[in-house]
Amino acid sequence: MKNRRIYQLLLVLTVFCCLSPVYADNARPSIEINLIIDGSAGLTGVKDEVSSWIIKRLDQLLIDGDRITVWSTGTAAKIVYTGKINGNTDRDAVKKSIQNISGSGDVADFSGALRDAASRPSSGLCYTLLISASPSSLTSLLSGPQAGLMRYSRVEEFTKWRAIVVGLNIDAKVKKAAAGFYGS
């Protein structure tokens, strides 16, 4: 009798686990992506590796309905692509804009790009990825007035560059979650 109940439970769990993905609504809400890429000379030696890594991540992340803005940060930050993803043509245009970024000069205006990204209204989830191939430009960002924008971030180190996920405009959410956790 005990074995029969165990088998019944396993059968129910198996059916639930196997069929629930078929009937579940797998669509996630659209997100806004800010992609800020180092446009200094530091990018030159790692451009192919960086482009390949970013494109692979975007292929995993992007769905129709997402909005993406791509910045190139040279002496001044400039937007090289912005738009809503509505199919493969848009995905290819994003990839091409990333591959067309070239590095020159000694500085990367990360501060300007982050300030611009933070000032844009966001209706939902916002994902910001900063690619740095220039340690000096990253140092100037962290010691400058926009350093607070980097407060909630995660760094992934590569041999000659870094990918930094930046939590823009989440201060209020973090404070609310901390207050809820501590019961105040």
Residue 153, domain CATH: 3.40.50
Nearest to 127 by CA among 180, 171, 69: 69
Is residue 98 in some structural domain? yes
For the chain, percent of residues with pLDDT exceeding 70: 73
Q: Report if residue 20 sits inside a domain.
A: no
Query: Given pLDDT bands bounded at 50, 70 and 90, which one contains residue 127?
Result: confident
Whether residue 18 has pLDDT greater than 90: no
Measured CA to CA in angstroms, residue 29 lies from 33, 152, 180 at distances of 13, 22, 25
The most confident of 7-11, 18-22, 164-168, by mean pLDDT: 164-168
What share of the chain has pLDDT > 90, as a percent? 40
Q: 68 lies in a domain?
A: yes
Q: Is residue 69 part of a domain?
A: yes
Question: Does residue 36 lie within any of the structural domains?
Answer: yes
Higher pLDDT, 16 or 74: 74
In a domain, 14, yes or no: no
